[in-house]
């Protein structure tokens, strides 16, 4: 099998999540853990999340904490690299919103405007500022607990993060950062130092100024993230003891595939293989209609031989968003038996995705400046 590249800065073709989990040394998620989560929180884990979450680091300990009424908080983030987020960005925030409402815990959301300036050639800080505001609106539309959620940009919150950045900076050797992220001797100093900014929010001490953290400076951090972000948190876990904090727990998720194939990752750099959250219904239908199909090219062959949903992008997209097991299974079997055509599958999925995006757009247009300021605690 060809090697797969998955780093925080480059995600190539994904051939096997299992292999990745092994390579990274994460623990595969189990049904037992999902069931324990459900028992403990009294919240059903929707089927799409059971597929979406693939591995973890000490999620079991988080459930112990929950059981023992020990406080913890959630931490996630977003690097603003396009003015509208896409479907693949919606998922992690919806998942975080789900976890937050199940656990009823604080959530901090880091917007890494600095990261995009350092890693994305050609972007100016002014351009990033515009994307940041647009992305924050997108994120707010995912519906969090208003009083337990804090969104911050690195360039504005840096003074609060800096003490932890300094502590970690004193402890972590350059060679460690180089080997963890594949940085070379000619990597800029800015890039080399950036990981400390993404690591600092993993320790509650960075948020002592916030009311929801008051009196809990040693709360455990729980990080839901796509598996490519794991290197940051491996680093945090290794040095947590030295900064006298509990190791952050991590919940790893898959990537949403792009429209060209189930082994790709949806990316805003290719507008045609990506469904933006600002796309119109017409654009979405057109894009899904041109997505890679697992059916036969000729209708008569398809009726006779049937199609393969494992490689069918529209059906796969549906599995990421839809909780209705029976319907998904019905579509799978009908497609496999040739009763549903490629076009029918595409249109059915397009209808579903359009309904999700329309709902999102409605919620986004209702985000007020007041609400925006509230999440950023500017008031
Ligand atoms: N680096 C992430 C990105 O490029 C953003 C991010 C910052 C993040 N902190 C995080 C993602 C914590 C998950 C968890 O999108």
Whether residue 273 contacts residue 256, with contact meaning beta carbons closer than 8 Å, is answered with: no
Model pLDDT for residues 359-379, shown as the tens digit of each residue: 999 999 999 999 999 999 864
Residue 261's H or E segment, with its range, is none
**Mean pLDDT across the stretch 201-210?**
95
3-state SS string for 198-251: HHHHHCHHHHCCCHHHCCCCCCEEEEEEEHHHHHHHHHHHHHCHHHCCCCCEEE
Residue 225 Cα: closest atom of ligand 1: 13
Asked if residue 135 has its Cβ within 6 Å of ligand 1, the reply is: no
In the predicted structure, residue 331 carries a pLDDT above the cut 70: yes
Whose Cα sits closest to atom 12 in ligand 1? Answer: 76
Asked if residue 76 has its Cβ within 6 Å of ligand 1, the reply is: yes
In the predicted structure, residue 187 carries a pLDDT above the cut 90: yes
Asked if residue 115 has its Cβ within 6 Å of ligand 1, the reply is: yes
DSSP state of 149: E
> What is the distance between the alpha carbons of residues 231 and 181, in angstroms, rounded to a whole number?
7
Q: Given this model, what pLDDT does residue 170 score?
A: 98
Q: How many whole angstroms from 49 Cα to the centroid of ligand 1?
A: 19
Q: How many whole angstroms from 14 Cα to the centroid of ligand 1?
A: 19
Model pLDDT for residues 285-321, shown as the tens digit of each residue: 999 999 999 999 999 999 999 999 999 999 999 999 9
What are 67's two structure tokens? 């059981």
Decide: helix, strand or coil at residue 110.
strand
- The rounded mean pLDDT for the chain is 95
Q: How many whole angstroms from 274 Cα to the centroid of ligand 1?
A: 20
Q: Cα-flanking dihedrals φ and ψ of residue 261, to 5°?
A: 180, 150
Whose Cα sits closest to atom 9 in ligand 1? Answer: 77
Whose Cα sits closest to atom 4 in ligand 1? Answer: 79
Report the sign of the C-alpha dihedral through residues 181, 185, 186, 188, in that order: positive
Asked if residue 78 has its Cβ within 6 Å of ligand 1, the reply is: yes
Place of tokens 């031989």: 305
**Strand extents, DSSP E, the chain:** 6-7, 10-11, 27-28, 53-57, 72-78, 107-111, 149-153, 220-226, 249-253
What are 5's two structure tokens? 């590249």
Tell me the CA end-to-end span of the chain in Å, nearest whole number.
54
Give the whole-number percent of the chain exceeding pLDDT 90. 91
Whether residue 316 contacts residue 293, with contact meaning beta carbons closer than 8 Å, is answered with: no
Asked if residue 202 has its Cβ within 6 Å of ligand 1, the reply is: no
Q: Given this model, what pLDDT does residue 11 score?
A: 85
Q: In 16-104, where does DSSP find H-type helix?
A: 17-24, 31-41, 47-52, 59-67, 87-103
Probe residue for ligand 1, chosen from 136, 165, 229 as the CB with the greatest number of ligand atoms within 8 Å: 229
> What is the distance between the alpha carbons of residues 87 and 284, in angstroms, rounded to a whole number?
11
In the predicted structure, residue 1 carries a pLDDT above the cut 70: no
CA-based R_g, the chain, Å: 21
Model pLDDT for residues 248-294, shown as the tens digit of each residue: 999 999 999 999 999 999 988 888 889 999 999 999 999 999 999 99
Whose Cα sits closest to atom 7 in ligand 1? Answer: 77
Q: Cα-flanking dihedrals φ and ψ of residue 282, to 5°?
A: -65, -45
Model pLDDT for residues 335-360, shown as the tens digit of each residue: 999 999 999 999 999 999 999 999 99
DSSP state of 15: -
Asked if residue 229 has its Cβ within 6 Å of ligand 1, the reply is: yes
Asked if residue 249 has its Cβ within 6 Å of ligand 1, the reply is: no
Asked if residue 79 has its Cβ within 6 Å of ligand 1, the reply is: yes
In the predicted structure, residue 81 carries a pLDDT above the cut 70: yes
Q: Residue 188: which of 202, 174, 170 has the closest Cα?
A: 174
Q: How many whole angstroms from 302 Cα to the centroid of ligand 1?
A: 42
31 vs 35, 38, 45, CA distance in Å?
A: 6, 10, 10
Asked if residue 110 has its Cβ within 6 Å of ligand 1, the reply is: yes
Q: How many whole angstroms from 75 Cα to the centroid of ligand 1?
A: 9
Model pLDDT for residues 136-181, shown as the tens digit of each residue: 999 999 999 999 999 999 999 999 999 999 999 999 999 999 999 9
Q: Residue 114: which of 223, 204, 192 has the closest Cα?
A: 192
Q: Given this model, what pLDDT does residue 2 score?
A: 53
In the predicted structure, residue 96 carries a pLDDT above the cut 60: yes
Whose Cα sits closest to atom 14 in ligand 1? Answer: 76
Q: Which residues of 358-373 are buried (b: 16+ CB within 10 A; e: fewer)?
A: eebbeebeebeeeeee
> What is the distance between the alpha carbons of residues 353 and 225, in angstroms, rounded to a whole number?
23
Asked if residue 92 has its Cβ within 6 Å of ligand 1, the reply is: no
Whose Cα sits closest to atom 5 in ligand 1? Answer: 78
Q: How many whole angstroms from 299 Cα to the centroid of ligand 1?
A: 44
Whose Cα sits closest to atom 1 in ligand 1? Answer: 79
């Amino acid at each position: 099998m060809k090697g797969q590249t998955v780093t925080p800065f480059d995600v190539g073709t994904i051939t096997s999540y299992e292999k990745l989990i092994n390579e990274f040394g994460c623990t595969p998620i189990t049904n037992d853990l999902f069931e324990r989560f459900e028992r403990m929180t009294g919240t059903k884990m929707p089927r799409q999340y059971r597929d979406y979450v693939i591995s973890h680091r000490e999620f079991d300990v988080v459930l112990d904490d929950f059981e023992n009424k020990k406080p913890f908080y959630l931490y996630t983030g977003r690097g603003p690299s396009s003015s509208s987020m896409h479907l693949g960005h919606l998922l992690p925030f919806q998942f975080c919103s789900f976890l937050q409402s199940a656990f009823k815990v604080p959530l901090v959301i880091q917007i890494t405007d600095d990261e995009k300036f350092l890693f994305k050639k050609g972007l100016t800080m002014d351009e990033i500022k515009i994307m940041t505001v647009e992305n924050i609106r997108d994120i707010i539309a995912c519906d969090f607990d208003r009083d337990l959620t804090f969104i911050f940009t690195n360039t504005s919150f840096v003074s609060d993060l800096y003490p932890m950045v300094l502590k970690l900076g004193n402890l972590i050797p350059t060679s460690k950062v180089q080997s963890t992220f594949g940085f070379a001797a000619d990597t800029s100093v800015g890039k080399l130092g950036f990981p400390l900014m993404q690591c600092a929010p993993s320790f509650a001490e960075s948020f002592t100024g916030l009311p929801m953290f008051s009196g809990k400076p040693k709360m455990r951090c729980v990080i839901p993230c796509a598996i490519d972000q794991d290197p940051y948190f491996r680093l945090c876990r290794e040095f947590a003891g030295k900064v006298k904090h509990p190791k952050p727990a991590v919940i790893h998720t898959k990537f949403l595939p792009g429209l060209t194939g189930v082994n790709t990752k949806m990316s805003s750099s290719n507008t045609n293989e990506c469904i933006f959250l600002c796309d119109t219904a017409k654009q979405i239908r057109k894009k899904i209609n041109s997505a890679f199909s697992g059916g036969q090219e000729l209708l008569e062959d398809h009726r006779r031989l049937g199609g393969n949903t494992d490689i069918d992008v529209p059906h796969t997209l549906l599995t990421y968003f839809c909780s209705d097991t029976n319907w998904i299974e019905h579509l799978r079997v009908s497609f496999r038996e040739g009763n549903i055509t490629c076009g029918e599958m595409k249109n059915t999925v397009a209808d579903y995705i359009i309904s999700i995006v329309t709902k999102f757009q409605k919620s986004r247009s209702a985000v007020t400046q007041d609400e925006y300021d509230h999440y950023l605690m500017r008031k």
